Structure 1
Amino acid sequence: MGQECQKCQNKQEGHANEIHKQEVISSDSDPEYEEEDEKQPQKPPSMDSKSNTSTFIKEQYNSLESKQEQIESPLNQLKFQDGGIYTGIIINNMANGLGRLVMTNGDVHEGSFINNKLEGDGKCIYARGPIYTGQFKQGKSCGLGIEVWPDGSVYEGEFQNGKKHGKGVYKWSQQSTYNGEWADNMINGIGKYEWPDGRSYQGQWVRNQMHGRGFYKWIDGKYYDGEYENDKKSGFGIFNWSDGKQYQGYWLDGKQHGKGLMINKEGKKKFGEWQNGKLISCSDESNLQIIPDGWFLNTFNQ
């Protein structure tokens, strides 16, 4: 973060001695980046790397019954060419009704089947992943559901095409929580992330990262209201310390970079130019415009 400004030359002659008595406004350290744990949000796990569908990949199967017969017999069994075994109600030589499918990889699908696909309410137990309980459409999780992971992490919310999509709440086993919008199994849109130590970020997200406008606050009262890019402050933002000191200005890669204004707790102002977190020049000008036109304070402070 920024360093102490070298004392600007006094514009009025005869006050050289007073320069040493002026209170120099320092940006101090930003605790968010000073600590070992930067407290960036955790990334939610997903099933994207493996099959996340309860559909039958192949609808060809071997049955003791003739394919031409109209079958309606409870608790019969179908064995599919991909190795999956279905036990349940069979109509027209297809899984139709309540049943249970065990896949060769150990995944288990239970619920109401229509033409070999889960439809409506059902449950999937993934051998190397979560347990999903909720609604299905065409064999994929779609609608409202609950996803419980082996480590105890839980997602409850909306699904689409087999993925977390829409609005939902995810609670990690370490007690961090996210409540907001999702797209394709990733945090994406507007939402609030809360850490166990009381920190929180409310704002915009893109692909699991704080990206766009957001409001990050600490339990002791510090806050940052501004723009983010890939989990780091970037663009215009305002950092407010718990003692009332404030920095208004521009950031890059998590550090002050560009024009800025420091205001100490007594309200004294000092304009400056920052580079990679260091104050390289300062001015006593009082008419500089720092806050961009149309900027609304505390947009996501809730």
Structure 2
Amino acid sequence: MYTLCTEGRTINSESLDLSEKVTMRSETLMKKDKLDNAIVLEDGLVYIGEMQNDERHGYGILIYPNGSILEGNWINGKANGICKLQYSQDEYYQGNILNNRFQGYGEYVNNNSSIYKGQWENNEKHGYGEEYFKNGSIYCGNFIRGMREGEGVYLSSNGSKYEGQFKCNMMEGDGIMFWGDGSTYKGQFQNNDINGYGVYTYPDGSYYEGYFINGKRNGIGSLIRYDGYEVSGEWEEDKFYKN
């Protein structure tokens, strides 16, 4: 969860210190019409921008004591519209804000972990979005209250691909998994693993249809080899147990 209240956050050691940021932003803003000089507020915030009725109103920049910067449009003292909240050189949010909350489309970038592009509601990822991880993995699909939930596609950095249902950030429900060696599985998932009934197809064309527990053949199932030979019955820990 990402909030506009940035108290307690630390900024990157390579980023500018607060005084440099104030000077830099002031020089930029003084070139614009109808912008006031920097105002230092009682809580340590620094605001540079337009005012109306003693409230932030119009275009302006708010600088937090820890160095984070919120830049964009203000209405009656609150950020509204397209804004940018810069936590550090490596981390920022840019997109729509409604009454100081991330709302609508926005992009959250953390160069040390991931990039998210998609919908937000009340400061959380909510709706359709795409998340690109530093290790090369990609998720495209639905989010609910900050978690991957509903239909989605996950492309792993190891070359595998999952299409199906998610719950609480995990593969959960019906889905299809494709592996780089040509293997596929279509069926039920639970806790990020193959659990329940499904069909697993091997690279040589053989396939197993039946029940799985934690990715292994367990319970009633049938293995049909590529040459037509069939083994049906009960399986335990990936091994045929009895007819």
What TM-score does the superposition give when structure 2 sets the normalisation length? 0.82
C-alpha distance after superposition, 1:194-220 (max 9, x if no partner): 123431000000111101111000123
Alignment of 1:52 onto 2:13:
no
**Match for 1:142 among 91, 103, 117?**
103
**Deviation string, structure 1 residues 165-210 (Cα, Å, up to 9, x no partner):** 1111111122211111112222111110112343100000011110
Structure-1 residue corresponding to 2:140? 179
Q: Distance in 2 between matches of 1:80 and 1:247?
A: 68
Separation in structure 2 between the aligned mates of residue 108 and residue 210 of structure 1, nearest angstrom? 37
Number of equivalences? 217
Residue by residue over 1:203-249, the C-alpha shift from the partner in whole angstroms, topping out at 9 and shown as x without a partner, is 00011110111100012321011111110111111110010111111
Structure 1 position 238 matched with structure 2 position 199: yes
Q: Gapped runs of 5+ residues in structure 2?
A: 8-33
Give me the whole-angstrom Cα distance separating, in 2, the residues matched to 1:55 and 1:246: 54
Q: Which runs of no fewer than 5 residues in structure 1 stay unpaired?
A: 1-47, 57-72, 283-302
Greater mean deviation of Cα atoms: 222-231 or 142-151: 142-151
> Contact 1:55 / 1:138 at 8 angstroms: preserved in 2?
no
Matched, 1:82 2:43: yes
Q: Would you say the 8 A contact 1:53–1:139 is kept in 2? A: yes
1:94 matched to 2:45? The reply is no
Distance 1:229 1:150 in 2: 31
Q: Give the greater-gyration-radius structure (CA).
A: 1
Structure 2 counterpart of 1:228: 189
Supply the AA of the counterpart residue of 1:126: Y
Higher relative contact order (CA 8 A, sep 6+): 1
Query: Which residue pairs with 1:262 in the alignment?
Result: 223
| Separation of aligned partners in 2, 1:185 and 1:129 | 21
Distance 1:226 1:129 in 2: 40
Q: 2: CA distance between counterparts of 1:128 and 1:150?
A: 9
Equivalent residue for 1:157, pick from 118, 143, 159? 118
Specify whether residues 256 and 225 from structure 1 end up closer, same or farther in structure 2 by C-alpha distance, changes over 3 A only. Answer: same
Partner of 2:82: 121
**Contact 2:6–2:64 under 8 Å retained in 1:** no
3-state SS, counterpart of residue 36 of structure 2? strand
SS in 2 for 1:74: coil
Q: Show the counterpart of 1:204.
A: 165
Moved over 6 A (4+): none
Give the TM-score normalised by the residue count of structure 1. Answer: 0.67
Q: Identity of paired residues, percent?
A: 33
Deviations along 1:87-121, one digit per CA (max 9) or x if unpaired, are 11111111111111111232211100112211011
Structure number with the higher strand fraction is: 2
Q: CA RMSD in A?
A: 2.1
